[in-house]
Amino acid sequence: MSDDNKPGLIGQIKDKLIRSKEKTAEAGRHLTGRVDNDHANRLPPGQHLVDKWPVLDLGIQPELPLDTWRLAVDGLVEHPLTWTFDEFMSLPQERFVSDIHCVTTWSRYDNRWDGVSSKTILDFVKPKADARHVIFHSYDGYTTNIKLEVFAEPDVIIAHSWEGARLTREHGGPVRAIVPQWYFWKSAKWIRRIEFSATDKPGFWEERGYHNEADPWTEQRYS
Ligand SMILES: Nc1nc2c(c(=O)[nH]1)N[C@H]1C(S)=C(S)[C@@H](COP(=O)(O)O)O[C@H]1N2
Ligand SMILES: [Mo]
């Protein structure tokens, strides 16, 4: 499936939601001006703790039957791949526990993820020497970008389960990215493609006023 198949979905997104988030970014809301480079506190500046896991997205929660679901890993790699769900589940599996920090100021501690680590994916596809960026493409038309070295961090996981149960559709099932060191908008739900690229490709929110990186400890909320 190419990116060009998806503008129809993006076209359905409520303009109002996008506008209000853009305004939040323009106004620099939620910025405290505090910096916690050493991670002295477990909770990053400007964040508050929640117990229940909120749902945030563009309002399209694609229904993805497992028998037709595919995940492609391609771009600047030696061995581009496309996995079926059964193939994905038969890859080496890992379990990581990490905290979620959403730019809208909620954080949730100790989330247990099961899935395939970025390290395993890198070993399979082998990025070419000039690959510098990783772009997640999702079934709802969403995209987001991270640097290759961020993708390669040992806690990054392409997850199918949370707290021992399959990810629900609203939280990005069957499979989503988890990039624990960055604000949660970098953790793309419903991923269909992981693209390796020489050039950076700012994603949906990065093009709408959000920071290109997303470090909660230095409050990289907006650009
Ligand atoms: N495909 C896709 N992934 C997405 C989004 C989205 O709209 N579409 N929203 C992002 C944002 S802004 C956040 S805060 C988290 C929310 O994930 P959750 O709904 O599981 O809490 O998903 C991120 N990943
Ligand atoms: Mo978000």
Residue 163 resides in a domain: yes
Residue 207 resides in a domain: yes
Amino acid 5: pLDDT: 46
Token pair, residue 221, equals 């909320």
Checking if the pLDDT of 113 tops 90, the result is yes
Residue 70, Cβ density class (10 Å: 0-12 exposed, 13-18 middle, ≥19 buried): middle
- Bridge-based pairing of strands 191-197 and 70-75 is parallel
Q: How many domains does the chain have?
A: 1
Amino acid 130: pLDDT: 98
Amino acid 186: pLDDT: 98
Decide: helix, strand or coil at residue 149. helix
Amino acid 70: pLDDT: 98
Q: Kindly give the distance from the C-alpha atom of residue 205 to the centroid of ligand 2, in angstroms, as a whole number.
A: 9
Ligand 1 pocket check: which of 135, 183, 187, 210 to mutate, most ligand atoms within 8 Å of Cβ? 187
Checking if the pLDDT of 6 tops 60, the result is no
- Ligand 1 neighbour 55 (Cβ under 6 A): yes
Name which of 3-17, 21-35, 110-124, 132-146 the model is least confident about: 3-17
Residue 29 resides in a domain: yes
Give yes or no for a contact between 134 and 71, defined as CB atoms under 8 angstroms apart.
no
Amino acid 13: pLDDT: 73
We report the CATH number of the domain holding residue 166 as 3.90.420.10
* Domain interval for residue 158: 3-218
- Ligand 1 atom with least separation from CA of 53: 21
Checking if the pLDDT of 43 tops 60, the result is yes
- Ligand 1 neighbour 118 (Cβ under 6 A): no
Query: CB within 5 A of ion ligand 2: which residues?
Result: 56, 102, 185
- Ligand 1 neighbour 142 (Cβ under 6 A): yes
Residues in the chain: 223
Amino acid 15: pLDDT: 84
If one compares 1 and 137, the residue with the highest pLDDT of the two is 137
Name which of 3-12, 74-83, 210-219 the model is least confident about: 3-12
Amino acid 4: pLDDT: 42
Residue 223 resides in a domain: no
Checking if the pLDDT of 1 tops 50, the result is no
- The average pLDDT across 120-129 equals 98
Residue 204 resides in a domain: yes
